[in-house]
Amino acid sequence: SQQGEEDPQALSIQEGENATMNCSYKTSINNLQWYRQNSGRGLVHLILIRSNEREKHSGRLRVTLDTSKKSSSLLITASRAADTASYFCATDADQGAQKLVFGQGTRLTINP
């Protein structure tokens, strides 16, 4: 079964606005990763945040992690049409095995 739940399932915003997606998980983790998938293609790794980190930035991306609430958020600032994609969070739920369990994903649409 999926460990992660993401909300919203779908998000539609105007170009230039910020987009926030949330992810919740159930078990303890070593790290949490965010991926982007364009139109059913392969996954592009965006950012990894470790369990002892609270916030991480990469370009227009900001990820937070709250292990006490077992939740994470991905913020995309100043969105662009090219950001239109599905975004997934993934956790390594089985410590030592490096296996990833994916959330259901958020479908983000940026309107020009």
Partner 1 sequence: SAVISQKPSRDICQRGTSLTIQCQVDSQVTMMFWYRQQPGQSLTLIATANQGSEATYESGFVIDKFPISRPNLTFSTLTVSNMSPEDSSIYLCSATLGGYNEQFFGPGTRLTVL
Binding mask 40-79 for partner 1 (x = CB under 8 A): xxxxxx--x-x-----------------------------
Tokens, residue 57: 């930035």
Minimum distance from CB of 17 to partner 1 (Å)?
25
Alpha-carbon distance 99 to 106, whole Å? 21
Number of residues that bind partner 1 (CB under 8 A): 25
Minimum distance from CB of 20 to partner 1 (Å)?
19
Binder among 20, 22, 24, 30 for partner 1 (CB under 8 A): 30
In 3-109, where does DSSP find H-type helix? none
Task: Pick the stretch among 17-25, 39-47, 52-60, 69-77 that binds partner 1 (CB under 8 A).
Answer: 39-47
Alpha-carbon distance 5 to 72, whole Å? 10
Tokens, residue 75: 């913020």
Q: What is the dihedral of CA 66, 67, 68, 69, to 10 degrees?
A: 60
User: Which residues sit opposite 99 in a β-bridge?
Assistant: 94
| Chain contacts with partner 1 (rule: CB under 8 A) | 2, 30-31, 33, 35, 40-45, 48, 50, 88, 90, 92, 97-105
